[in-house]
Structure 1
Amino acid sequence: MSQVALARRAGVSVSLLSKIEVGDRALTQGIAAALAQAMGLTLDELLGTAPVGRADESSLTDLNYVVRRFEIPGPPPPHPEDLPYALAELNAHRHRTELSAVLRKLPGVLADVTHHAHATQSPDAWTRVADTYSVVYWLAARHRWMHLAELAVMKQRSAAERAHPIAATVAARDEAGAFLNSGDFAGGLAVVDRAIVEAQSVLRGRERAYGLGILHLRGLTLAGRVKDKATAGQHIDAAWRVAEEFPEDIEDHGIHFGPENTAVHVISTASDMEDYRESLDTAADLIRGGLTLPATRVAPLHMNISRSKLALGDRDGALASLEEAWDVAPEMARVHPTSQELMRVLTSLHQRSNPRLTRLAIRAGVPF
């Protein structure tokens, strides 16, 4: 396929495609999805999956084994009272973006919560199973192991059918995330729309606000990827309205929601829609007010700040923000496609004499 044919089929200009190819412009997730569709690929196939370290291979094998045996009961754990603490510890590793630690502990926790749920058949137990599969989805999505991510959300939905109603809302949010990570943004929006209607009818009180909030955050991200400003604006407005019910961000079911995380998502979506100045202004206000979010949210924030600065021609500022992301969450930065793409463009544009970029490239394992 010629460059002209690919650009036409993907709906992008030949000039933009050429600049992306030679490293003058960063490849956004939205354009990457359009290129993938034009070539008959999924987004993860175009971007490639993160490799599994030798030390993590056995843990990934164990995780796949436990996921596969979801409906096969095993011996219940001897101390079920410890399960909430085990899941909380797992989410603590997640929030610190300690990917290897999550992978190492996840098979055992997942097996224990699943066997306990089969033994008790209680909604509390099945909600814990669904929450643990949310961690599986998150880990798989970070590495772009999309087969595992999609399998995880299927099991999560199945567990949610036996759990408290909020579990179905979280599962829908993660299912829409699987569509997002695969580049099917329209499909993800359809999942979000359906889940919002359901959440409005079955959830009550603070749980309802939280559930709607995390769904609207997913919706605004999906709409931003296709540059649908009207739909993105609707989700942004709705997310801010719900966020007003939370004086500060909360963490529930392993996912944060509140004013700060809403701002983080708005910053990312503004950058997706090429409103770079708005993105940076919102980010400046957020950082000035002080951040309480974990590394899982702060690192992508700095990546999106870097992305906006780079688009506005501030290469040194982009490098500084990317360094911030690496300092906050090195394991995530190593596998995150935005971080990888920023490194590709910065090493293409900068001179080799830049010692800070050279150090970061060595840290990232990028030839430079």
Structure 2
Amino acid sequence: MSATQVPGPGANVAARRKELGLSQVTLARRAGVSVSLLSKIEVGDRALTQGVGAALARAMNLTLDELLGSAPEANLNDLNWAIRRFDIPGEPPEHPENLQREVDELNQLRWNTELSKVLLRLPGILTRVTNHAHLTGEPKAWGLVADVYGVIYWLAARHRWMHLAELATLKQRMAAERADPIAAIVAARDDAGTFLNSGDFSGGLAVIDRAIVQAESTLTGQDRAFGLGVLHLRGLTLAGRLKDKQTTQKHIDAAWRMAEEIPEEIAKHGMQFGPEQTATHVISTASDMEQHRSAVETGESLIRAGMTLPANRVAPVYMNLGRSQLALGDQEGTLESLERAWATSPEMAAVHPTSLELTRVLVSKHKRSNERLTKIAQRAGITL
């Protein structure tokens, strides 16, 4: 297997650097990373994490999306048409009593990471819930609109369609303002996600800090634990990408306190929170903070206990576990984790930057043919 011409998020770094006429030393200095790390990322000996990717993108005056590369966009004309008509009332749906069930089914497809089916259903569902909300003006109806835009944000983020993700969260916030406080909290969480996906981690933390103040003053009971919980999970992820240990720990501690008030996972407005969700985010952030043994231990403990989470959370657990296993030199463990991620959620594994980057590095490191790795690489569209 060749260590060159292996596609994946990290494979763009050398090409972009050379296009700009930058040496490795210059780029590394600008980005605040070591020349050794940059060199290893470029040749495929180290995985490109989103935190390092954001630093390199800023140093080259690129967006993180441009550096990582985007999945090819499917035909989004119908969805874009429905989004444009947010403020234009249309024909009311024939069976408004079915709208909640339709949105619930859409979220189930999201949790199962059936991306193609989600995209297929989105335009029609968005049109129907939007027209119904205009007709009734009820907060519950606008809550459904906000929920559908939350799904659009999720789909766009998975494919790294960043402009669509930002547009979706804008509409989501507008709908949530007409809905209820929890819808507004979920919208703020997704808004911070656009900062996360673009590499603006400090900007995302500012959004979270503002939303936490709002949640603390407006929510009570289980809604308060849920709302603050999902915000702190986003906060710990953002702070972890910044390598801000103090702020990260603050959000981790707060998230666990909120999780203690919720004995099992609950879902509101398409978002889930509970002890297992908290554990998955702690694993990811431990990997971001290069606390790899802690990430592996926590991940293996969660897996042994038996996860009840849906595929959209289980697959990232395996990806983040693989990230830390790779950093610790456990290539066999990384490959096994990748296989589990593909088995759990093939559509997500095919587009997720962590999955693609782990595959790229494994391909570069393997000097002999490996049937299991070859199968994953072929499914990911990586040329051996």
Residue identity in the other structure for 1:225: R
Residue identity in the other structure for 1:216: H
Aligned-partner SS, 1:334: helix
Aligned-partner SS, 2:172: helix
Q: Structure 1 runs of 4+ off > 6 angstroms? A: none
The structural deviation recorded for 1:251 is 1.8
Segment drifting more, 156-165 vs 96-105: 156-165
> 2:223 — aligned with what?
207
Question: Within the alignment, does 1:43 sit opposite 2:42 as a pair?
Answer: no
The whole-number CA distance in structure 1 between the counterparts of 2:367 and 2:346 is 24
- Specify which of 304, 307, 314 is matched with residue 298 of structure 1: 314
Q: How does 1:71-110 map to 2 (within 5 A)?
A: 71-110=87-126
Q: Is the 8 A contact 1:23 1:349 kept in 2?
A: yes
> 2:367 — aligned with what?
351
- Specify which of 32, 57, 66 is matched with residue 11 of structure 1: 32
Map Cα deviations across residues 72-112 of structure 1 (whole Å, 9 max, x no partner).
11011011000000001101110010000000000100110
The structural deviation recorded for 1:47 is 0.7
Aligned-partner SS, 2:48: coil
Map Cα deviations across residues 198-240 of structure 1 (whole Å, 9 max, x no partner).
0111112111110100000000000111111110100000000
Q: Is the 8 A contact 1:137 1:174 kept in 2?
A: yes
- Specify which of 166, 184, 196 is matched with residue 180 of structure 1: 196
Q: How does 1:218-297 map to 2 (within 5 A)?
A: 218-297=234-313
The whole-number CA distance in structure 2 between the counterparts of 1:200 and 1:13 is 41
The whole-number CA distance in structure 2 between the counterparts of 1:72 and 1:47 is 36
The whole-number CA distance in structure 1 between the counterparts of 2:155 and 2:68 is 17
Map Cα deviations across residues 229-259 of structure 1 (whole Å, 9 max, x no partner).
1101000000000000111111221111100
The whole-number CA distance in structure 1 between the counterparts of 2:369 and 2:40 is 23
The whole-number CA distance in structure 1 between the counterparts of 2:311 and 2:143 is 25
Aligned-partner SS, 1:114: helix
Question: Within the alignment, does 1:160 sit opposite 2:176 as a pair?
Answer: yes
- Specify which of 136, 145, 157 is matched with residue 161 of structure 2: 145
The structural deviation recorded for 1:352 is 3.7
Residue identity in the other structure for 1:81: E
The whole-number CA distance in structure 1 between the counterparts of 2:148 and 2:379 is 31
Question: Within the alignment, does 1:25 sit opposite 2:46 as a pair?
Answer: yes
The whole-number CA distance in structure 2 between the counterparts of 1:352 and 1:257 is 43
The whole-number CA distance in structure 1 between the counterparts of 2:85 and 2:70 is 25
Q: Is the 8 A contact 1:352 1:358 kept in 2?
A: no
Residue identity in the other structure for 1:206: Q
> 1:131 — aligned with what?
147
Residue identity in the other structure for 2:54: A
Segment drifting more, 317-326 vs 251-260: 251-260
The structural deviation recorded for 1:315 is 0.4
Map Cα deviations across residues 174-194 of structure 1 (whole Å, 9 max, x no partner).
000000000000000000000
Aligned-partner SS, 2:45: coil
> 2:5 — aligned with what?
none
Instruction: Work out the number of aligned pairs and report it.
Output: 363
Residue identity in the other structure for 2:308: T
Residue identity in the other structure for 2:361: V
The whole-number CA distance in structure 2 between the counterparts of 1:160 and 1:255 is 14
The whole-number CA distance in structure 2 between the counterparts of 1:7 and 1:367 is 28
Map Cα deviations across residues 153-183 of structure 1 (whole Å, 9 max, x no partner).
0001111111111111000000000000000
The whole-number CA distance in structure 2 between the counterparts of 1:207 and 1:20 is 43
Map Cα deviations across residues 277-323 of structure 1 (whole Å, 9 max, x no partner).
00011112111211000000000000000000000000011000011
The structural deviation recorded for 1:2 is 1.4
> 2:4 — aligned with what?
none
The whole-number CA distance in structure 1 between the counterparts of 2:203 and 2:383 is 37
The structural deviation recorded for 1:364 is 1.6
Question: Within the alignment, does 1:326 sit opposite 2:342 as a pair?
Answer: yes
The whole-number CA distance in structure 2 between the counterparts of 1:29 and 1:171 is 23
> 2:378 — aligned with what?
362
Aligned-partner SS, 2:90: coil
Aligned-partner SS, 2:272: strand
Aligned-partner SS, 2:267: strand
> 1:342 — aligned with what?
358
Which residues of structure 1 form unaligned runs of 5+?
none
TM-score between the two structures when normalised by the length of structure 1: 0.98
Question: Within the alignment, does 1:120 sit opposite 2:136 as a pair?
Answer: yes
Residue identity in the other structure for 1:18: S
Aligned-partner SS, 1:251: strand
The whole-number CA distance in structure 2 between the counterparts of 1:351 and 1:89 is 45
